[in-house]
Amino acid sequence: MKPTGPIPPDFVRREGELMIGGRTAGEWTELAGDTPLFVYDFAIVRDRITRFRAAFPGVSLHYAVKANPHPPLVRAIVSLVDGLDVASAGEARIALEAGMDARHISFAGPGKRDRELEMAIDAGITLNLESAGEAERALAIGRGMGRTPRLAVRVNPDFELKGSGMKMGGGAKPFGIDADRVAEVVRRISDAGAIYRGLHIFAGSQALDAAAIIEAQRSTLALAARISSDSGVAPPHVNLGGGFGIRYFAPDAELDEKSVGNALASELARRPAVLADTEFTIELGRWLVGEAGVYLTRIVDRKISHGKTFLVVDGGLHHQLAASGNFGTVVKRNYPISLSKISNEASSCTVSVVGCLCTPIDRLGDQVELPDAQVGDMVVLFLAGAYGASASPQAFLAHPAAVELSIDGTEIL
């Protein structure tokens, strides 16, 4: 048997049935008309937003759409956050259609095509510039359209967020402009008459260590101040990044966001004069939505091979790649997993839960302890609210895409 991650405490059982947004897996399957499916419980997202507001008064909150772009979910989030961060023109359209004011949308991401720059400038979205070349293209496109672009500069910081699952800063990176070259680009876009929106400094993702985030935020503020003094232009806005992680695996401890908030408040209280009028933002994806989602998949076959039991389900890595350990993880570990229904007398056994794809990497639970399960039972994979459906190779093997449903209270969004 191998360990599995902790089930988020937001999920409880009633008479042996796991409740997901007030409904059982069977009720969800009936609603969806098929399995597998993702369910996102907006009440959990709202709870995380409330926690953020309590811990970070006076700091703006942006949602990073790439974590979960399901349109009904994004629509629900729009009214509770201060802005959306997008990483493509497609996500920018989702953000606009969800009702977010273009002035509160920022568009980061390497390799923006001319037509994406054009779409963003036309809509009034802020571009977080990833290179000096992109700055020139945005200025030229703005001139050609007779529009003044709103431009911020993404900085490739000269430090990293320690212990983060995905490193996005420090050293040679495709993201942002190297810190020591940013002041020059800020002067260039200001002199060219663009609306300068400030700096974006994202040092990493999926960090659970409050001390590491505190240290990165302190370095981020110092870097923003240094760049702003060097360029002689005060930034209206500084996006401090995010990187708040969630507990996927057994030994993880929950991130203590309150101590991060306290430390940031004291850093901000003594920030240098050049940042006195700056608005600060934290951008979060998985911390807001990751724990709100479950992936439900039905057992199609149960077999024994060389003494080991396999539960073969109708889902797989084509919907939930991350749970198979093939999305930005080095060591494969088990996400929290359970059966939707557990009877009192159920004995448990060690099984591997494998997907329906013809590849050995399609393994959603490796030698996990589960109550005795039969064909037809539903398996629940937790932490499926971020980087699930949209971050998985849904076209692989030509199985249908998973159904996605979002719920808020009793209302399907």
Ligand X SMILES: *Cc1c(COP(=O)(O)O)cnc(C)c1O
Tokens of 165: 């699952």
In terms of C-beta distances under 8 Å and separation of at least 24 residues, what long-range contacts does 80-87 make, across chains too?
80/46, 80/49, 81/49, 82/281, 83/281, 85/239, 85/283, 86/125
* Cβ-contact 370, 44 below 8 angstroms: no
Closest to ligand X by CB, 28 or 63: 63
Q: How many residues bind ligand X (CB under 6 A)?
A: 15
Q: Which of 24, 88, 126, 206 binds ligand X (CB under 6 A)?
A: 206
Closest to ligand X by CB, 23 or 104: 104
Select the residue whose beta carbon is closest to ligand X and give its number. Answer: 285
Stretch that binds ligand X, among 32-40, 201-209, 251-259, 343-351 (CB under 6 A): 201-209
Query: Shortest gap between Cβ of 240 and ligand X (angstroms)?
Result: 10
Closest to ligand X by CB, 67 or 353: 67
Q: In whole angstroms, give the CA distance from residue 182 to residue 6.
A: 42
| 121 makes contact with ligand X (CB under 6 A) | no
| 257 makes contact with ligand X (CB under 6 A) | no
Report the site for ligand X in 227-256 (rule: CB under 6 A): 242
| Interface mask toward ligand X for 266-295; x: CB under 6 A | -----------------xxxxx--------
Main-chain dihedrals φ then ψ at residue 308, nearest 5 degrees: -105, 140
- 10 Å CB burial of residue 269 (0-12, 13-18, 19+) is exposed
- 10 Å CB burial of residue 72 (0-12, 13-18, 19+) is middle
**Rounded (to 5) percent helix, strand, coil in the chain:** 35, 25, 40
| Interface mask toward ligand X for 94-113; x: CB under 6 A | --------------x-----
Query: Shortest gap between Cβ of 66 and ligand X (angstroms)?
Result: 5
Query: Shortest gap between Cβ of 375 and ligand X (angstroms)?
Result: 36
| 66 makes contact with ligand X (CB under 6 A) | yes
* Cβ-contact 224, 199 below 8 angstroms: yes
Closest to ligand X by CB, 11 or 287: 287
Residue 293's DSSP bridge partners are 40
Contact residues for ligand X (CB under 6 A)? 64, 66-67, 85, 108, 202, 205-206, 242, 283-287, 386
